[in-house]
Amino acid sequence: MNAVRSPRQVAGIAGIVLLILAAVVLAVLAVDVLRVERRVAADDIRFTTLVDRNVSWTPNTILPIGVARGILGLGDDLAYRRAVRRFWLSDPRAPLREFADVTRRAGAERELAELAESSTNPQYRSLLATMRGGLLLEEARSTPTQRDVFARRAIEQFQQAITLDPMNDDAVHDLELSLKLLRQTGRGESGESEGRAPLPSPGAGAATSGGGF
């Protein structure tokens, strides 16, 4: 006959089982965290070297991906990376030839604006404003009838970017170009000879976690 275990013995066995389960979960979590770190670093390299613009920065994990991301504090970093990817996939230098181009560009600007509103990282917000300003400045160059409107909106974005990060040299340079374009617009000149605003590099910004970018 099986011996009847006392409540204390049952509790002891349950405690051991829970400890084993906790150890297994921690081991699995450690594997997932390592996978996320490696994938983010590898995808940063692929993206910034132009090997692949469609990287996801999302590996296959055993536990839900949000668990490892939360431990690493990658929420803002990954959202920023995806906004940058959306920006570059909108082909910001290309002329708008069809409605799909307009939709793609508008979607990129909307994502940049939404992330700028929600992000608590001043550097990221500055870079996002710079990218928005770059899109608006390109609109000003390619839309003569609305050049004044788009140039003023671009100026607002570059000024905001500089306020958030005075070391943002791209925003300073772009602001100067936008002001020149606006002055020339007032004189009825095209402003095409003043050069083009330098767009942020593919990996603009430095991630606080994950290595790269």
Both tokens of residue 145?
């009838």
**What integer pLDDT is reported at residue 207 of this predicted model?**
41
Cβ count within 10 A of residue 10? 11
Q: What is the mean pLDDT of the chain?
A: 77
What pTM does this model have?
0.68
Confidence of residue 196 (pLDDT cuts 50, 70, 90): low
Residue type, 35: R
pLDDT at 93 over 70: yes
By C-alpha distance, which of 89, 24, 39 is closest to 212?
A: 39
Question: What mean pLDDT comes out for the span 169-189?
Answer: 81
Burial class of residue 124, CB neighbours in 10 A (0-12, 13-18, 19+)? buried
pLDDT at 72 over 80: no
pLDDT at 153 over 50: yes
Domain positions in the chain are 7-73, 79-191
Token match 């590996």: residue? 59
pLDDT at 11 over 70: no
Give the model confidence (pLDDT) of 181-191 as tens digits: 888 876 444 44
Question: Which secondary structure element, helix H or strand E, spans residue 176, and what is its range?
Answer: helix 169-186
The single-letter DSSP state of residue 119 is -
> Taking a C-beta distance cutoff of 8 angstroms, is the pair 123, 162 a contact?
no
